[in-house]
Amino acid sequence: MLSVVGVVMCGKGWKLDLEGLAKHDRIEHDASLTHDDAAPGAAYAPTAVDSKLLQALLQQSSDGRGLTLQDLTKARAARDASLKKPLDGFHDAIAQGEVALTFELFKDAQGEVPKEAIRQWFGEQKFPDGWTRPSRTIGLWNTTMTTQKVATSVKELDKEASKKKD
């Protein structure tokens, strides 16, 4: 379902590539964990990985080895906080869904995504070396439940940050 939406919104006919996914304000949004925001008025966002954003993402690891769902959520909240203008509801859901899908696709038996997997997935834009598909199906229901956990955690982190500012 997600791939069909991607093809319809960003593809050329029934073909989809990374450039198409970078069409600004379609699926692409100004809160990528590893890509700069689109320049004002630009039709496409940058497709090159921003090394500072990638490093900030990797530094969210609470144990230095991998990123838990909470670590990834902290990265999502930090990136959201850096925006000049908050994401609309549609793009906010996409951003949270990206965290959920990353976690579900790449988590290990300990419930974290190894930093090397994050580096390869986001930094090199490829499946991590040695990756095999999960043993259980990651369907819409599972992804939606994980996305809701991310959304709830982001709201809690935002509240905590607001209290610290006051």
100-125 pLDDT tens trace: 999 999 999 999 999 999 999 999 99
In a domain, 65, yes or no: yes
In a domain, 63, yes or no: yes
Residue length of the chain: 166
Quick one: which of 31, 105, 107 has its CA closest to 71? 107
Q: Which residues contact 11 (CB under 8 A, 6 or more apart)?
A: 20
Measured CA to CA, the distance from residue 62 to residue 53 in angstroms comes to 17
Global pTM reads: 0.87
In the numeric block, which tokens belong to residue 120?
Answer: 């390869």
In a domain, 62, yes or no: yes
In a domain, 5, yes or no: no
Structural domain count, the chain:
1
Quick: pLDDT tens for 49-93. Answer: 999 999 999 999 999 999 999 999 999 999 999 998 899 998 899
In a domain, 17, yes or no: no
In a domain, 145, yes or no: yes
The domain containing residue 117 runs over which residues? 50-165
